[in-house]
Amino acid sequence: MRLSRSVLLWVVVLSALVLVEVAQVAHLFNLGYTALLGNLLSFILALVLITVLALVGAVFVGIFIATRALSQRGFSPFEEEMLRMRAEVKEVRDRLEELTRSPPRGPSGGGPP
């Protein structure tokens, strides 16, 4: 099985996040929470960025759920008409093949003169 680029990118991103989390839990490095809270502008910027990203993610999840919920309804009237037309074309094609396979009628075969 071959991985696509997008799957590989997500694996790399998630691996990096897990690595940072493990390093934080193991106290390999400490993020300066006091420095972040001390600089009010950085804190507000980070809060706004996280909020915007959360809203965008929620919109995408909502679109995905709505698409999945609405796609289970069946065919639209246009699609039903296209399926009927496909059946009619298949029927005409079968009749045409039947006519082309039948032996030709000659003048003594009782066909038109």
34-47 residue pLDDT tens: 666 677 787 788 88
- The position carrying tokens 């799957």 is 7
Task: Extract the tokens encoding 14.
Answer: 């998630």
Integer Cα distance of 96 and 94 in angstroms:
5
The answer, yes or no, to whether residue 15 has pLDDT greater than 60, is yes
Tell me what percent of the residues of the chain surpass a pLDDT of 90: 33
Q: Is residue 56 a contact partner of residue 50, using CB atoms and an 8 Å limit?
A: no
Task: Extract the tokens encoding 110.
Answer: 């009782």
Backbone Cα Rg of the chain = 33
Task: Extract the tokens encoding 43.
Answer: 């804190």
Condensed to tens digits (0 to 9), the pLDDT of residues 89-108 reads: 999 999 999 988 877 676 66
pTM, 2 dp: 0.37
